[in-house]
Amino acid sequence: MDTQTLRNYARLIARSGVNLMPGQTVVIRSEPVQLDFVQMLVEECYLAGAGKVRMEWNYQPLTRLHYQYRSLESLSTLEPWEIEKYKYQAETLPATIFLDSEDPDGLKGVDQEKMAKARQAIYPVIRPYRDAMENKYQWCIAAVPGKEWAEKLFPELDEAEAEEALWKAILHCARADGPDPVETWERHSSEIHRRCDWLNSLKLRRLNYRSESHGTDFTVGLLPQMLFCGGSEKLEGRELWYNPNIPSEEVFTSPRAGDAEGIVYATRPLSYQGQLIENFSVRFEKGRAVEVRAEKGEELLKTMIAMDEGASMLGECALVPYENPIRESGILFYNTLFDENAACHLALGMGFSSCLKDYENYTLEEARALGVNDSMIHVDFMIGCADLSITGVTEDGAEVPIFRNGGWAVE
């Protein structure tokens, strides 16, 4: 891959992604892959003004071994130094960059019940620190090729060719293969903001989804205070903008927890906890997922919606036009960062308090009391397709076409 193109991508993540401020501390979390690029990214963070850059390494094969050999008690216990680390992050609010490269099948066969119970035990300990950081720090998820991920997407190519092909796909879908990705993203974000302004002007109270080809027939309620968001986001109480997802094609909101009826069919596989769930549907009654079916990974899907009280309710509705660079690439990435931005999607679990109008005036507890869903999970699954129609219902009962034939009904 051309060095200058990779350098531009690193600059995009540092400047448009987390939008670093002078002297700020940065944490980069990554698998031990693409080390030349990681070095570029660290340097670009410093050139953008970072005072300190700290690496935190993950390695999925070791995670697999931990779940295989450690006891449930061990997996469910945080050491004092680990708790202090969460506390320190909540106090210092470092900008955080996540580089995604994991094998979509990397945790296949791991004991699902053991993994779920360990997460359920740890979550109440880390939740206060996570809540304290909500909407108060910059973060960005971007991707780099991992060997196993590249081989899964391009099995017909040798290792080097597969890696190169995945680099090209990542950069193209992230709108980062041109001469100035930072400028490209400014224009792209402005267009997404324009869509948000239009949707927010409608004062919608419901969204009705229909797809004859897949069978989706579903309706979801929206809060009066809720706004559609997308593109760059602003930190609470500050005029500091950042882009949390690279790529991003979505306009999204958090629906009213407990207000959803009907059935939705996934149009792309879901990679969850290093395992794949494929060809599945979710049926909602009185706001909750009451039935899930899947050709592959059904038990994992059932485990997911039982993680806690809010896991079976929706935390996000995201609108993505069928015509977009990710879907047009023809690649199924088996990676939520990309696949969710290829199609309209919903998310089970945690909602976003930042989607409330004047959200700075609400505590998290108040936001949840209004109807923003609360959960330890937030899992996106894709339902967009070529014939998806979405009709909005306004506060006075008028119906407004939002999507027709998979795309925006109004230019």
Which residue has tokens 């580089």? 99
User: pLDDT band at 124, cuts 50/70/90?
Assistant: very high
136-155 confidence digits (pLDDT tens): 999 999 999 999 999 999 99
Question: Distance (Å, rounded) from C-alpha 135 to C-alpha 131?
Answer: 9
Region 48-54: what's the mean pLDDT?
A: 98
**Per-residue pLDDT tens over the stretch 64-122:** 999 999 999 999 999 999 999 999 999 999 999 999 999 999 999 999 999 999 999 99
Answer whether 0.95 is exceeded by the pTM: no
Instruction: Please state whether beta strands 95-100 and 25-30 pair in parallel, antiparallel, or not at all (unpaired).
Output: parallel
Task: Reply yes or no on whether the pLDDT at 1 is more than 90.
Answer: no
pLDDT over 90 at 411, yes or no: no
Alpha-carbon span 274 to 304, nearest angstrom? 13
Q: By the 8 A CB rule, do 284 and 290 touch?
A: yes
330 phi, psi to nearest 5 deg: 75, 10
- Residue-level pLDDT at 93: 97
Residues 321-353: tens digit of each pLDDT: 999 999 999 999 999 999 999 999 999 999 999
Per-residue pLDDT at 237 exceeds 90: no
**Strand, coil or helix: what is 317?**
strand
Least confident segment among 182-186, 234-238, 406-410: 234-238
Cα 64 to Cα 106, 112, 117, 273, distances in angstroms: 8, 12, 15, 11
- pLDDT tens for 264-300 read 999 999 989 888 999 999 999 999 999 999 999 999 9
Q: Residue ranges of the domains in the chain?
A: 3-180, 182-406
* Closest listed residue to residue 61, CA positions, set 113, 128, 109, 116: 109
Give the number of other CB atoms < 10 A from CB of residue 13. Answer: 27
Query: What are the residues facing 278 on neighbouring strands?
Result: 296
CATH, domain range 3-180: 3.40.1830.10
